[in-house]
Amino acid sequence: MSALFLCPIFERNEYMIKTILGVLVLTPLGAFSIYVTAIILKEMVKQLKK
């Protein structure tokens, strides 16, 4: 009963589920790229101060 009831919901929300999974994958990558960018900017500032 409950499994059959959930099937149409999953079909309808398949795109949303894929989007959520995509966000979960991309968020750590985004955070990592921001972290790397911050390190590069810090190094550039150090070079400019010299």
pTM (predicted TM-score): 0.51
DSSP H helices, the chain, are 2-12, 14-49
**pLDDT at residue number 8:** 62
- Digit-by-digit pLDDT tens for the chain (50 residues) are 455 665 666 666 778 778 888 888 889 999 999 999 999 999 999 999 87
Could you tell me the residue ranges of all domains in the chain?
Answer: 2-49
Q: How far apart are CA 39 and CA 50, in angstroms?
A: 17
**pLDDT at residue number 41:** 95
Six-digit token string for 24: 């979960």
